[in-house]
A = this chain, B = another copy of it.
């Protein structure tokens, strides 16, 4: 366990990359030694992100694994799906530890990856090696590994909300429905008609119903808990806001459980994990209550009439759903407290 680490960020000009910078600036043991962008190398990072004026006075570097390895010990790859799959092997080869924020190393099944992502999958060897970095669940697996695959934003909110109940056998995995809602930043910084302000504002829309590439990731991880294949209904919606994800989840209960039962079960399950906050009976978290922070807040509505439990789970998609959990994973890799440098209070209002 070393006391500090030098890190680089590839993909620094996306929203995940720039959020890594915001948190790493506060991190007591990590030093950002290189911010990297394939498209904008050579220009000051504050040119595209004026909020970093005087805070990070640094030019963007190009993508060169050897040069990165000469400066840094660990690299965050906030690169698009398809790019990471090709780049990560070179980074590992150069001796770097890697925390990958793309979806390229999350699915263990190459065929599933290729079906959902429509790219060639990375090698089976690397897929097997990559630790799925859902920190509260697989934290111990992250210690001292070379490669962590950071979970997707929707899977993070969904899995943290379902796993304790599924593991306890309280819900029927054949009945799971996930109704997910996300702010726009989840779609990245690249301009498109779909994220044009005038199209998004005062609008609420569904997209990729039962077709989102996070579905196989969710099903893979639920199956791992259930011990058999799991299939879910999954709808994604765009909310006219920048940050935040809520997943509202429905499942049939295998017994007569109350809200208090669920609260107790989850509080015990997440005991010692400061970023999961289980709310009291009769209240549910709102996305703004975790905005800008690494928290995942969870609430319940058990319904006698229908025999179903409704679980509400919220995160900030750029933090717990991306940059924050990546740093949490870095902490776990290094053997540090999982909340080191991540203890920022949500920004409210």
Contacts and interface: CB of A to CB of B under 8 A. Distances in A.
B197 A181 contact: no
Interface size class of A (residues with CB under 8 A): 35 or more
Contacts of A283: 50
B347 A292 contact: yes
A248 B241 contact: no
A33 interface: no
Interface in A295-326: 297, 299, 301, 303, 305-306, 308, 310, 312, 314
A189 B198 contact: yes
A269 B248 CA distance: 31
A185 to B, nearest CB: 5
Contact of A290 (B51, B242, B346, B347): B51
Interface string A32-71: 0000000000000000011111110000000000000000
Interface string A222-249: 0000000001110101011111101010
A254 B83 CA distance: 43
A334 interface: no
Given A25-B343, A202-B287, 17 more contacts: A50-B279, A50-B285, A183-B198, A185-B198, A191-B193, A195-B198, A196-B197, A198-B242, A202-B202, A202-B291, A204-B241, A206-B246, A207-B284, A209-B284, A231-B305, A235-B301, A344-B344
